[in-house]
Amino acid sequence: MTTPNRTRVLTGITTTGTPHLGNYVGAIRPTVQASRDTSTDGFYFLADYHALIKCDEPARIQRSTLEIAASWIASGLDPEKVTFYRQSDIPEIPELTWLLTCVTGKGVLNRAHAYKAAVDKNNTAGHDPDSDVTAGLFMYPVLMGADILMFKAHKVPVGRDQIQHIEMARDMASSFNHLYGEHFVLPEAVIEESVALLPGLDGRKMSKSYDNTIPLFAPAAQMRKQIAGIVTDSKAPGEPKATEGSALFQIYQAFASANETAAMARAYAEGIGWGDAKQMLFERIDREIAPMREHYQSLIDNPAQMDKILLAGADKARQLATPFMRDLRHAVGLRALSSGKVATVAKETKTALPNFKQYREKDGLFYFKLVDAKGVTLLQSLGFASPKEAGQAISRLQNEGADALPALESCLEPVTAATLASVVANLQLFDQMGQNLSK
């Protein structure tokens, strides 16, 4: 069950690929471990709307969604204890995306790393800056903001490349809260420093984009074969080997205990052959993965069961999202027309604010007037030589209210006794609402 005063932890994973050992070590395993912390409330979801930004192959998105969901559950995520769902099963997410879109500066999105990288690449190639850039890529951070803000997440575990997106989500939350009242929690990124960055077959970071991955749940025979393909130096058996810079050693370390790692380091020093080292690595990984592999396969073979699990998760998530979205719609003014008397105070009072209007006349002088919310002129200035002087008089009226009237007598048309009370009341409004709201 979700309990309001527990720390909410939320993270999503884009459904475009097959999980590999790097995803397991870097994200799945630590997240599953963290999900067992009973002082937190976990929200884990398959970001399939995000997948559409990078992938236009429907079958791949479907397959990847199944594989990733099965990987999480086979790795120990308990859908009874956390809220585990598919993004596209929550129609409130795209709905919230639009509300956030309307409080997000376009300039902020221009600076998002992924979009900027695409533009830079086009510029370097001499193409139009936005060539092949979809509005989906541009809007990526807003969709992600909706994922996070919808469930009032406090902590969002992500990779370093995602920190900027969490900061943007905070900004969206603040802007919205400022305009419409306190609705959103400001989320924080959590970067897991201790988690291993796994090298791939070629020694670079294991990543789909380098095509150097080992699938997490490949059949054992395939995994053994792939491990045999990890790059090593050409030292012969019997020659001492360096652990430093050895991809094989680093991968071993990500699965082994401290003792096992020390033993492997000794074997390196004593000149273990690469074939034997690879066999040890395969056995160590397989010891951890094999018990889950069967569960994974049974989930893959039963996609209807997976649909059921995900829909139950979406149900749980929507118990929060549906009423929250109803509140948010109301807050921005998408409401029943008969509910006009109920209003958020700040906004409604703001529309009733008086206004200073500045303008220049044919005589070349600068004037201002104070107009109330209904458009009635309450104060009328005489001509000033510069807009700056007119501005200074306005500032005094905003800051000091009616107290400034005697000092400004010489530059205002006389205030009749009949309007004085109204002038005073309207100037007080500036004080109540904070200054500068008229601008």
Closest Cα partner for 228 from 283, 267, 289? 283
Residue number with CB closer to ligand TRP (12 or 200): 12
Shortest Cβ distance from residue 139 to ligand TRP (Å)?
12
* 147 touches ligand TRP (CB under 6 A): yes
Helix-helix angle 113-124:135-150, to 10 degrees: 170
Residue number with CB closer to ligand TRP (85 or 367): 85
Shortest Cβ distance from residue 343 to ligand TRP (Å)?
33
Shortest Cβ distance from residue 62 to ligand TRP (Å)?
18
Q: Which of 51, 68, 109, 156 binds ligand TRP (CB under 6 A)?
A: 156
Shortest Cβ distance from residue 220 to ligand TRP (Å)?
29
Residue with the shortest CB distance to ligand TRP:
12
Interface mask (CB under 6 A) for ligand TRP, residues 24-53, using x and -?
-----------------------x--x---
Q: Mark the segment that binds ligand TRP (CB under 6 A) among 11-19, 34-42, 219-227, 269-277.
A: 11-19
- Residue 360 identity (one-letter amino acid): R
Residue number with CB closer to ligand TRP (163 or 332): 163
Shortest Cβ distance from residue 358 to ligand TRP (Å)?
46
How many Å separate Cα 414 from the centre of its chain? Answer: 56
Q: Mark the segment that binds ligand TRP (CB under 6 A) among 141-149, 357-365, 377-385, 396-404.
A: 141-149
Looking at residues 159 to 198 of the shown chain, list those that interact with ligand TRP (rule: CB under 6 A): 162
Q: Which of 9, 14, 230, 404 binds ligand TRP (CB under 6 A)?
A: 14
Inter-residue contact 150 to 321 (CB < 8 Å):
yes
* 158 touches ligand TRP (CB under 6 A): yes
* 12 touches ligand TRP (CB under 6 A): yes
CA distance 136 to 231: 38
**Would you state the structure tokens that stand for residue 211, as one six-digit string?**
């095509």
Q: Mark the segment that binds ligand TRP (CB under 6 A) among 7-15, 53-61, 385-393, 401-409.
A: 7-15
Residue number with CB closer to ligand TRP (44 or 384): 44
How many Å separate Cα 397 from the centre of its chain? Answer: 43
Residue number with CB closer to ligand TRP (90 or 254): 90
Q: How many chain residues bind ligand TRP (CB under 6 A)?
A: 13
Residues that bind ligand TRP (CB under 6 A): 10-14, 47, 50, 144, 147-148, 156, 158, 162
